[in-house]
Structure 1
Amino acid sequence: MQSARRVHRAFNPTSLPGLRAPRIHTREFYNAGKLPRAGQQLKTNGALKGLRRESTQTGEDQTGHISESSNEAILFFDGLFPLRLNWAFRLPWTNQRSLPQILSRFNSPTLSAYEPMNMIKQAIPSSVPMKVIEILPRYKDGGAFVKFSHPEGITAKEIEGLVEGYLRDKPIKPWFNPFRQIHTNLVRGKPWLEDLYRFPSSRIKVEFVPTSPESQAAELSQETLYSLFRRYGKLAEITSQPSDSKILPKYAYLDFSRVRHAIMAKNCMHGFKVLEAEGGGKAGTGLRLSFEAKMKAHWVRDWLKDHPRVVIPLVAAIIATVTAAAFDPIRTFFIKAHIDHSFALTNSRIYKWFKSQATDIFAFRLHKSEEAGLTAIWDDRKEAIEQISTWLMETADTFIVVQGPRGSGKKELILDQALKDRKHTLVIDCKPIQEAHGDSATIASAAAAVGYRPVFSWMNSFSSLIDLAAQGTIGVKSGFSETLDSQLSKIFSNTSTALKQLALDYRKKEDKDASLTDDDWLEAHPECRPVVVIDNFLHKNEESSVVYDKISEWAAGLTTANVAHVIFLTNDISYSKSLSKALPDRVFRQISLGDITPEVAKKFVLTHLDIDKQDIAAGKAELSAEQRSADLEELDECIDTLGGRLTDLEFLARRLKTGQTPKRAVSEIIEQSASEILKMYLSTVDKGERKWSPEQAWYLVKSLAANDTLRYNEVLLSNTFASSLSATAANGESVLEALSAAELISIQSNNGRPGMIKAGKPVYQAAFKLLTEDHVLTSRLDLAILTELTKIETKSIDKYETELTMLGSLPKQPREVGPRVQFLLDKLAASQKKVQNWEKEMGVLKKVLMDEY
C-alpha cells in the first residue's frame, strides 16, 4: 500500500505531452486575484501536489468534454458555490470568470477553511490512493469536477466509496449554507461542460439517443430510470412521453425533490450508455440530459391572460379598495369643508373687515328693500318658523316636510329664518341632479351638491366600455363598471360620514355624558346635529326616479341613526307616496305654505315701495298725495287680482318702482301669464313626452275662466278626458296630475282624496279669462275640441254599425236580440245627433276664423 502511495505521489500527468495544457494564465477560484508565478508551489497534501492550474471551465481545449484514460475517473463535488448567485450570470457584462473575484471578497483568515479550494482539499483525505489531475469549477451548478488517476489495483468505484465514507464521518459544510454538507459522486457518463445561459432546475429532461447513427434507441421504463437516478436524490415524479407523441428522440421527465439532487444527476449521468442487460436495447441507449424549467418564463402573465373571468373582477376589486382607501378620507374632508364653509371667503376675517368698512360707502338698495319686504311675511308666518325651530330641538327620527307651490317662499323660510343660527347646514337641490343628461352628468351634479371631490365621473363611461368589452370576450359582466345607483351610494355614504363627524365635533371630554357611545350621545343631543335641506324634491313628479329613491333612502338612514335632521322642500302634494317607501312606519312632520293673505300682500308691496322712496335722492320730486292715494286704491284691487304668490308680488313691486301704475303693471303681468299658458300648455307643436293634449288643457282653461273651481270627478267624466285620442293622454287622472305638476292647475284634497281643481296661480285665473276673451283663439281651440269629439263619436258609430251588421246577418232573428238591436239603434241615433250639432258649431267657428284676424 505504501509503495502504491509513493507511485501515486511521484506520478505527474502534466509531464506527458498529450496531457499538457497550453500555458494560459488564469485567475483560479482558489487563488482569486493573484496570477501564478513560475516555480510557485501550493501547500497541499499528496493528492493535490502538482495539480494542473490552467484548466478551463469548458474542458480541455474548450471542447466541452473531459478526456479520460484507462486509469482515470471524475468525481463531482456539489455545494461549493452558492446557487443564489446564478442571477449574476444573466447580466450582460458578467462572465463566469468574475465569480471567483466576487467570492474572493469573502476570503479572510477566519473564513479560509471555507474557501472552495480548501474544501476540496479537506474532502479528499491523504489516505485515499488517488491523484488529482485537474479541477474544473462549475459555478452555475455550484460544484466542481475533479479529474483524478488511480492505481491498477483499485477501481474508481472503490475510491468513490472511500471519499463518500470520509465525508459521512467528517462532514464539510460551506460558509454560505452551514446546514448542508458537501456530497460527491462518481461521474458515470460523459459530462458536457457548456457555458450557455442554461441554469439548474429540479426537473431534468432525459432524451434516449442511439449510440451510433445506424442503431436505434430504446425508450426506458420508469422502473429503469428510477434505478439509475435514485442514488442521486429523492425523485418526486417520473413523467414518460405520451404514447401518441411522435416527437423524436423519445424522452422522459425526472422531477427531483431538490435542485442539488438534479444537478448531481445531470453532471454524473449525462452521456451514460445503458446496456442491453439494463433495458437499453440491442445496441444500447445513450442518455442526454438537460435542465427543464418547470414553469414557463411568463407563466404569471400567461395565467392572467388565460383567466379573465377571475382576473378582471379581482382587478376591479383591488382598484375599488385602493381608491376607497386613498380618496375616501380626502372626499370626507372636502364634504365637511363644504358644509361648514371652512374655505369660504365670506367667513374670513379680512373679508368681514372690508365689508364693515365699505358698508357706509356702498348701499345695496335692492337687498335692503327685499329684506324689509320679507320681514312682513315672516311676521305672518312666525308660527311656522317657531314650529320648525322646535322640531329641530327634539329627538324624532322622522322627516320634516315643507310643502307649497313655487314662489311661496319655502326655501327662504327655512334657510333665512328657521336655520339662520345653524352653523352646519347642507342644502341639496334635486333640480340640477334630476335634469342632468347621462349618468356621468348626474354623478357630477350630485357630487357638486355635497362638495364630494375628487370625483371621476368620466371613469363611469370608460369603465362601462371596458365592462362591455369584457362581456363580449368572456360572456359575463366583469363588474368593473359601477351603476348610477352604486355611485350615488358612495357619494351619500361619504356625506353621512362627514355629517356624523361634524355632529361629534361638539362633544367635549369634560362633558357629563362624555362616556356615552357616539350613537347614544347623538340621540341625547339633537341640537348638535347638522340639518340637511333637500330642495325641489319631486321636481318633475317622477316618483320612481333613481335619484329621488336614493335621496329618500339616504335621508331615512340619517334620521333613524340620529346623524342629522332632514327637511324636504317640495311643490308636489303627493310627496307622501315617495317618502313612505323610505320610512313606512313614521308620521311626517309637515307644514303647508300657501299664498299669503291680501293684507300681508299689500304690506309686502308697500314695504318695498317705502324703502325705495327713502333712498330717492333729495333732488327728485316726491309723488303727490293725490297720486299716492289713487295708487293705493288701485293697489287693493290689483292685489285681489294678483293673489298672494310672492314671486308675482315681487314682480309687481319692481314694476311699480319703475313708475307704472298698479293697474298697468297687473295688466302686463296678466298678459305675460297668458302668453306663457298659450306657449306651454296650449301649443299644438310637439313638446316631446307631454302627458296632456292641448284640447284637455284648453278645456280646463275655458272651464276655470267661467268658474273659479271645478269638481275633480266632473272633469274626469267629460268627453275630452274620458275618451282622448292621444295615447299619452288617455288616462284622465295622470293628465290632471301632470298639469298640476306643471302648475297650470292646483288640486285640493278633501278627506285625503282629490276633490277640487283651481288655477295653478291666482294670476292664472285672470289670464284664463283674458284668453277666453280672444274670439279667434277661442274659436280655433274650440274647433280642435269639437274635431276630436267628432272623431270619437264617429268611431263609436262605426262600432255600433259593425255590431248591427253582424246581428242582421243571422239567419233567424231571435226574440232576445231585439232589445240589443234597439239599444244600438238608440246609441247610433244619439251619436249621430251629437255629430250633427257639433258640425253646426264647427261651421260657425270656421266662419269666425275666416272673418277675423
Structure 2
Amino acid sequence: MLSNTGLLRRPPRPLTAFQRQCLHSFRNPRPRPAVLTASNRGRRHTSSDSGEDETGHINTASNEGILFFDNLFPLKLAWLTRLPYIDAGTIVSAYKKGRSPGIALSDPTDMIRRALPDNLPITIQAVLPRVREGGAYVKFSHDGGITTEELEGTVKAYLKGQPIKPWFNPFRRVRAFLVKGKPWIEDLYRLPSTRVKVEFLPTSPEASAAELTQETLYSLFRRYGTILEMISQPSDSKITPRYAYIDYSRMRFSTMAKNCMHGFVLVAEQGGGKTGTLLKIQYEPKAKTRWIRDWIASHPRIVLPIVAALIAAASVAVFDPIRTWMIRLHITHELHLDQNQYYLWLRRQLTRGYDYLRFKPKRNEDTSLNVIWEDRHTQMEQLQTWMSESVDTFIVVQGPRGAGKKQLVEQALEDKQYRLTIDCKRIQEARGDTKTINAAAAEVGYRPVFSWLNSWSSMIDLAAMGTIGTKTGLSETVENQLVKIWTNTSSALRSIALTQRQKEDRDANLGDDEWLEAHPEARPVVIIDNFLHKTIEGNTDMVYDKLAEWGAHLTTRNIAHVIFLTTDVSFSKSLSKALPDRAFRQIALGDCSPEVAKKVVLHHLNADAVTPEGEQKITPSQLRSDLDELDSVIQVLGGRLTDLEFLARRIQAGESPGSAVKQIIEQSASEILKMYLLDTDRSWSPQQAWVLIRELAANEELKYNELLLDDMFSKNGEQVLQNLEQAELITISSANGRPNKIKPGKPVYLSAFQYLSEDDVLRSRLDLSIMSQLAAKENTTIQSCEEELQRLAQLPGTPAEVKPRIKYLLAKAAASQDKIVKFEAKMGQLKKTLAEKY
C-alpha cells in the first residue's frame, strides 16, 4: 500500500555529473574575489531599464540564456521614478555609492556576484536592472555541454544552500529563475500588482490560439510562488484575445512570473493548440475591497450617531480638561502679570522714577467713594457676614442703574482672592448663536471654543434630514452649549475651593462635599452682573434661566457663593424657578442722601489736594465761591452715583454747579426725546411716553391704577408700563406686593421732564397727536352707537324694553360728541401754536 508521502512527493531526479561537481564546491567554498572581473566572469555590461539598445527586448543566441533575480531592490521605491531627473539608473547608482563595510549587501551587483557559484561555466553578457519590479535580468552565455535548465537548477540549489538576504528585506532571500519567454523590458510607469493578466495570443496572424485551462496555467505558474486564485474569462464574453487572471499571495511572486513567462510559447504537445499559444502577461491592478467604506455609506442611520458619540467622547476626554484648566487660570490669574510680585515691584519703581523726573507728586488713590462705603457700611457688613455662613448663599443686590451695585460688592469682597464676574449684558447683546457662545465662553475663560462647528453640524443635520429622514445628532443647541460652559466652570470652581484644603487640618478626613460645607470661607464668589438685562430683539429668557439654575447648583452643592446684580424689581419671578423652596438674601440699593451726595462731589474735587510730603493744602472746594449752589443743585440732580460723578467732572472743568446741572438736564432731555419720543419702533407709542412725561413733570409721582384709567393706556397699559420701566424711563414702586406708584427712572429725569414740558412746540406737537387719537377714538364710538341705533330702529313699534338702551346710546354719542368738540377746540389752539413758533 502506498503511503501519503509517496502520493504527494515526486521521486527526485538523478543529478548530472556537472551538478554533483557544483554541489561539492558549495559545501567547500573557495575564497571569492571582491568584484566581478573579466578573468573570473567574462565580460559584463550594465544595460538601461528599457532593454538592449533601447529596443525593449533582450536578444539571445542558441548558447545564451537569461536569469531573473528578484529581491534586489525595494518594491516601495517604484514611485521615485516619477520624480524629475530620477530614473532606474539613478537609483542603481545610488545603491552602488552606498556600498560600505558597515552596510551588508547594499550593492545589487554584489548580490548578483554572491548569487552565482564560482565554478559556474558561464560568461555574463549584460545586467539589466528592473527597479520597479525589484530585480534584474542577467544575460549569460555558456558552452554547449550543459543546458540552461541545468544551470538554473544549479543556481537555485546554490541560493537555497547559501541564502542571500538584502538589508531592506531580511526575512526573504534572493531567488533566481530562468527566463523562458521573451520578456518585454519597458520603462513605462506600470507598477507591479499581485494579480497578473495572462492573454492567449496566436503565434502567427493566420493561426489561432488555444484558451488554456486552469490546470495548465497552474502547472506553468505555480513554480514562481503561491497562487491564491485563478479566474478564467467568462465563456459568454466577446472580448478578444482570451485571458485569465492569476492572483499570487505576494507581489514578488507575480513579478517573477511576469518577467520569466512573458512571451512564452506553449507548444501543441503541452496543450497550446495546433500552432502553439503565445502568452502575454501584464500586471492587473487589483480592485481593493472597500467593504468598510461601503458599509458605512450604506448605514448612515447607525454610523452618524456613532460618529457623533465618538466626537462627543473625544471632546470630553481631550478638550474638557484643557477648558477646565483655562477657566481656572482665568479665575486665579496665575498667568497674569498684574499678579506677579516682581512685575509689580518693577512697575512701582519705574512709575516712581517717572514722577520724580516730571516733578509730579505721588497721587493717592481715589478716596471719593469712601463716603459711599461709610454710608453703606451696614450693607457691606451684611454681605461679608453672608459670605462666612455655611448655608446657601444665594444673594441678590438690586438697585437702579448707576447706584453702585458692582462697586459695593467688589469693595465688600476686597479680601476674597478668587472671584468670577459674568456680565450678562455682553452675552445678551451678542447677535447670533455663534457670537452668543463665544461671549459666554469669554466671560469665564472657556477655551478652546469651536463654535463654528455648530453651524457646520447644523448644515449636516439639515442634509441628513433630507436624505435619511432623521437628524445625525451632531449639532447642539445654544442651550446645550451654554450648559457645557457652565458645567466646566463648576468643575473649575470646585477644584479651586478644594486647593485650599490642607492635610494638616483637623477635618482632613472629611469628604470633599463635607469639607466644602464646613468651610464657606474657601468657596470662590461668582458675581453675575446685569442679570435680567433685556435687549430689544428676541427672547432672552433662556440665558437667564440657565444662569439661575447654574447659580442654584453652585450654592446647593456648596461650590461657590453666588451674587446676582440686577436693576429689575421683578427678579424673584426668574430666580424662584431655580430655587422654588429656598429664600434668597436681598440687598436693595437706592440713591444717596443729599448729605452723602454733597460729600461725594467734594471728595472728587479735592482728590489731588495732597502734597508729596502728605501735608494738606488749600483744597479746590475752598477756593471756589460758587459751591454754595451745590445744595440746591443736588436737590435737583438726586443721589445717583453716575450723575454725581458727571457733575463733579464738569465742576472740575471750570463750570459752576448751576451751569453743570443745566447741561446735564439738557443732555438727559435729548436722550429722552431720542429714545422714547421720536423712535416709533418700540413696544410703546410716543404718545404714551409723552403722557407719562407730562404728568410726572406736573405731579412728580403718579398713582399706578389711576394712570391705567387714562384713554391712552386702556389697551395693554400694564405691559407698556413694564416695558417703559425696563427701558428706565420710569420706576414703579410696590406696596404689599402690588404696584402702587410711578416715579421718574432717575432723579434728574424729573427736571428733564419739566424741561421738555416747557417746550411749546414739542408739547403742542405731541398733544395734537394725542388729541387726534382721542378724537378718532370718540368718532369710532359714535359710529358704533349709530350702527346699533339703526339696528334698533328696524324693530317694529319700538318695544319698551329697548328704550333705555336707545337713551343710553344717544347719551353716549352725545358725550363723545362733546369731547370731540373740546378736542377740536384744543387742536385748533395747538395748530396755531405750531404755525406761529419754530
For residues 531 and 695 of structure 1, the distance between their equivalents in structure 2, rounded to whole angstroms, comes to 45
Equivalent residue, structure 1, for 2:383: 388
Match of 2:564 among 557, 564, 568: 568
Deviation at 1:410, TM superposition (A): 1.1
For residues 237 and 798 of structure 2, the distance between their equivalents in structure 1, rounded to whole angstroms, comes to 91
Equivalent residue, structure 1, for 2:726: 741
2:772 partner amino acid: T
Equivalent residue, structure 2, for 1:272: 264
Matches within 5 A, 1:187-266: 187-194=179-186, 198-215=190-207, 217=209, 225=217, 228-239=220-231, 249-266=241-258
1:511–1:824 distance in 2 versus 1, CA, 3 Å: same
Deviation at 1:601, TM superposition (A): 4.5
Q: TM-score, normalised by structure 2?
A: 0.72
Deviation at 1:736, TM superposition (A): 1.5
For residues 790 and 211 of structure 2, the distance between their equivalents in structure 1, rounded to whole angstroms, comes to 97
Deviation at 1:735, TM superposition (A): 1.9
Match of 2:767 among 782, 789, 794: 782
Deviations 1:655-706 (A, max 9, x none): 77789887777666555544443343223xx35x422111111122233344
For residues 215 and 806 of structure 1, the distance between their equivalents in structure 2, rounded to whole angstroms, comes to 114
Equivalent residue, structure 2, for 1:593: 589
Deviation at 1:388, TM superposition (A): 0.9
Percent identical across equivalent pairs? 48
1:389–1:79 distance in 2 versus 1, CA, 3 Å: same
- Is the CA contact 1:460–1:482 (under 8 Å) kept in the aligned structure 2? no
1:430–1:58 distance in 2 versus 1, CA, 3 Å: closer
- Is the CA contact 1:534–1:569 (under 8 Å) kept in the aligned structure 2? yes
For residues 539 and 246 of structure 1, the distance between their equivalents in structure 2, rounded to whole angstroms, comes to 81
- Is the CA contact 1:141–1:200 (under 8 Å) kept in the aligned structure 2? no
For residues 609 and 162 of structure 2, the distance between their equivalents in structure 1, rounded to whole angstroms, comes to 112
Asked if 1:401 corresponds to 2:401, the answer is no
Deviations 1:317-359 (A, max 9, x none): 9998999599859955862564885436997124445778969
Matches within 5 A, 1:708-727: 708-723=700-715
Equivalent residue, structure 1, for 2:163: 173
For residues 384 and 604 of structure 1, the distance between their equivalents in structure 2, rounded to whole angstroms, comes to 18
2:37 partner amino acid: P
Deviations 1:123-164 (A, max 9, x none): x9x9xxx98987867653446668788989x9988x599769
Equivalent residue, structure 2, for 1:67: 60
Deviation at 1:287, TM superposition (A): 2.2
List gaps (5 residues or longer) in structure 2.
Answer: 1-12, 22-30
- Is the CA contact 1:58–1:65 (under 8 Å) kept in the aligned structure 2? no
- Is the CA contact 1:316–1:479 (under 8 Å) kept in the aligned structure 2? no
1:759 partner amino acid: P
For residues 821 and 208 of structure 2, the distance between their equivalents in structure 1, rounded to whole angstroms, comes to 113
Deviations 1:73-129 (A, max 9, x none): 7665655666566677677165175356656857889x99x954444439x9x9xxx
For residues 696 and 506 of structure 1, the distance between their equivalents in structure 2, rounded to whole angstroms, comes to 57
2:279 partner amino acid: L
Deviation at 1:182, TM superposition (A): 6.2
2:768 partner amino acid: L
Give the aligned CA root-mean-square deviation in angstroms: 6.1
For residues 179 and 64 of structure 2, the distance between their equivalents in structure 1, rounded to whole angstroms, comes to 11
1:530 partner amino acid: P
1:35–1:603 distance in 2 versus 1, CA, 3 Å: closer
Deviations 1:524-560 (A, max 9, x none): 4332333232322333357616765665566555545
- Is the CA contact 1:499–1:563 (under 8 Å) kept in the aligned structure 2? yes
Report SS of the residue matched to 2:526.
strand
Deviations 1:256-276 (A, max 9, x none): 111232133223332234567
For residues 445 and 733 of structure 1, the distance between their equivalents in structure 2, rounded to whole angstroms, comes to 33
Report SS of the residue matched to 2:407.
helix
Report SS of the residue matched to 2:396.
strand
1:538–1:621 distance in 2 versus 1, CA, 3 Å: closer
Matches within 5 A, 1:132-531: 140-142=133-135, 172-176=162-166, 179-180=171-172, 187-194=179-186, 198-215=190-207, 217=209, 225=217, 228-239=220-231, 249-273=241-265, 285-294=277-286, 324=319, 331=326, 335-336=330-331, 338=333, 341-343=336-338, 348-352=344-348, 362=361, 367-368=366-367, 370-371=368-369, 374-375=370-371, 377-416=372-411, 418-435=412-429, 499=493, 502-513=496-507, 521-531=515-525
Q: TM-score, normalised by structure 1?
A: 0.71
Equivalent residue, structure 2, for 1:27: none
1:690 partner amino acid: R
Report SS of the residue matched to 1:540.
coil
- Is the CA contact 1:204–1:254 (under 8 Å) kept in the aligned structure 2? yes
For residues 245 and 821 of structure 1, the distance between their equivalents in structure 2, rounded to whole angstroms, comes to 103
Equivalent residue, structure 1, for 2:531: 537
Deviation at 1:389, TM superposition (A): 0.7
Match of 2:717 among 727, 732, 738: 732
Matches within 5 A, 1:51-66: 53=44, 64-65=57-58
- Is the CA contact 2:609–2:618 (under 8 Å) kept in the aligned structure 1? no
For residues 209 and 610 of structure 2, the distance between their equivalents in structure 1, rounded to whole angstroms, comes to 120
Report SS of the residue matched to 1:287.
strand
Report SS of the residue matched to 2:374.
helix
1:396–1:143 distance in 2 versus 1, CA, 3 Å: farther
For residues 7 and 238 of structure 1, the distance between their equivalents in structure 2, rounded to whole angstroms, comes to 35
For residues 191 and 571 of structure 2, the distance between their equivalents in structure 1, rounded to whole angstroms, comes to 76
Deviation at 1:593, TM superposition (A): 1.1
- Is the CA contact 1:721–1:732 (under 8 Å) kept in the aligned structure 2? yes
1:823–1:484 distance in 2 versus 1, CA, 3 Å: same
> Which stretch of the first structure deviates more once superposed, 533-542 or 81-90?
81-90
Report SS of the residue matched to 2:117.
helix
Deviations 1:43-63 (A, max 9, x none): xxxxxxxx7755858777776
- Is the CA contact 2:669–2:753 (under 8 Å) kept in the aligned structure 1? yes
For residues 239 and 692 of structure 1, the distance between their equivalents in structure 2, rounded to whole angstroms, comes to 85
Asked if 1:792 corresponds to 2:782, the answer is no
1:262–1:647 distance in 2 versus 1, CA, 3 Å: closer
> Which stretch of the first structure deviates more once superposed, 380-389 or 709-718?
709-718
> Which stretch of the first structure deviates more once superposed, 478-487 or 185-194?
478-487
Deviation at 1:779, TM superposition (A): 3.2
1:652–1:174 distance in 2 versus 1, CA, 3 Å: closer
For residues 269 and 736 of structure 2, the distance between their equivalents in structure 1, rounded to whole angstroms, comes to 110
Equivalent residue, structure 1, for 2:744: 759
1:408–1:284 distance in 2 versus 1, CA, 3 Å: same
Report SS of the residue matched to 1:747.
strand
Report SS of the residue matched to 2:338.
coil
1:222–1:478 distance in 2 versus 1, CA, 3 Å: farther
List gaps (5 residues or longer) in structure 1.
Answer: 10-29, 43-50, 724-730
Deviations 1:364-395 (A, max 9, x none): 59934x24xx42x3333222111111222234
Deviation at 1:572, TM superposition (A): 1.4
Deviations 1:541-587 (A, max 9, x none): 57616765665566555545544333221111233444456556654
Equivalent residue, structure 2, for 1:703: 695
Matches within 5 A, 1:95-114: 95=89, 98=93, 99=95, 102=98
Deviations 1:204-237 (A, max 9, x none): 1223333322345566666765565445433334
- Is the CA contact 2:526–2:562 (under 8 Å) kept in the aligned structure 1? yes
- Number of residues of Structure 1 aligned to a counterpart in Structure 2: 787
- Is the CA contact 2:123–2:142 (under 8 Å) kept in the aligned structure 1? yes
2:527 partner amino acid: V
